[in-house]
Amino acid sequence: MTTAYAVAICNNQPLADTPDKYAYDKLKANGRINFVTFHQSYGYEDFIEGIKPTVDERGNVSYSVASGVFKKFCDEARYESGNVVFIVDEINRGNISKIFGELITLIEDNKRGELYATLPYSHESFTVPKNVYLLGTMNTADRSIALIDTALRRRFSFVEMPPRPELLGTVDGVNLRAMLETLNTRIETLLDREHAIGHAYFIKCRTIADVAAVFRDKVIPLLQEYFFDDYEQIRLVLGEKFIRREPLPTLGDIDGKFRYTIDVAAFDDPTNYALC
């Protein structure tokens, strides 16, 4: 959906559910869409500007002010007649105050193209053009969302993108839509709706082998993280087919303990995905 929003904004058109991927790729190739991912080491120097070293052929080191990716994007946007979109993936994982600096004020709607700030390294006068749109993405199940900067919350509109199981069909006898709906109903019952599994995990599945790979390599590790390796909880979500449970031998007064193992062979049986 992020690509759909980006294409719609650039083309100044209503949001389309299934945007033409070629349109997104073309806009990105033409410099009207850019994409970065925030992480804990990402900083102001990467995003706006900073002093960076260069080494010549003799090994001599010199330092100069270099523009960051967002400043370059804004500088180029001034020459664009239409809208442009800058996408920040995992926006909640970055140190917002450190990365944005004075931009936290400049990105406000009523200050774009009106309010200028003097940048600390180049001493240039800088503003965010009115035709620049910022799209930030985040996973609501991510614990770091609670730490997102309050100033950033006030400057963005938040749009929830829930799972869309209706986009999924049947693959080798596996009703992906019904399966995902069942998974998320159980997860919401045991945890909350913020931990729902997205349809994107299964959107490219074409065979039972694809579905098995997603379950084995993505869904089960995700549930292990959600439930802190509490396999009894995981069995409540997946049913009893994928997670085997066998009692451990009684040791003194200790009983009622179980050994849990993942049944790899169960992934190849389409009937198991009914999650009974």
pLDDT at residue 190 is higher than 90: yes
Pick 2-155's CATH classification: 3.30.70, 3.40.1350, 3.10.100, 3.40.50: 3.40.50
Higher-pLDDT residue of 224 and 255 is: 224
The band of 28, judged by pLDDT with boundaries at 50, 70 and 90, is very high
Q: Give residue 238's pLDDT.
A: 93
The band of 259, judged by pLDDT with boundaries at 50, 70 and 90, is confident
Average pLDDT, the chain: 87
DSSP 240-257: SSSEEEEEPPPBTTB---
In tens, the pLDDT along 41-71 reads 999 999 999 988 888 788 788 888 999 999 9
Q: Which amino acid is at 107?
A: I
Using a pLDDT cut of 90, give the percent of the chain over it: 54
> How many helical (H) and strand (E) elements, i.e. helices and strands, does the chain have?
11, 11
Out of 4-8, 13-17, 46-50, 55-59, give the one with best mean pLDDT. Answer: 46-50
CA-wise closest residue to 215 among 270, 142, 139, 143: 270
Sign of CA dihedral 8, 12, 14, 19: negative
185 contacts 237 by C-beta, under 8 angstroms: no
pLDDT at residue 143 is higher than 80: no
pTM score above 0.75: no
Among the listed ranges 153-157, 211-215, 244-248, which one has the minimum average pLDDT value? 153-157
Among the listed ranges 35-44, 64-73, 119-128, 249-258, which one has the minimum average pLDDT value? 249-258
Q: Distance between CA atoms of 45 and 67, rounded to whole angstroms?
A: 8
CB-facing half-sphere around the CA of 91: CA atoms within 13 A: 17
In tens, the pLDDT along 56-112 reads 788 788 888 999 999 999 999 999 999 999 999 988 888 888 898 888 889 888 898
The band of 141, judged by pLDDT with boundaries at 50, 70 and 90, is low
Q: Give residue 61's pLDDT.
A: 84
Q: CATH 3.40.50 in the chain, residues?
A: 2-155
Question: Strands (DSSP E) along 101-252, which ranges?
Answer: 117-118, 125-126, 132-136, 170-171, 174-175, 243-247
246 contacts 259 by C-beta, under 8 angstroms: yes
**Phi and psi for 204 in degrees, rounded to 5?**
-100, 5
Q: Give residue 153's pLDDT.
A: 65
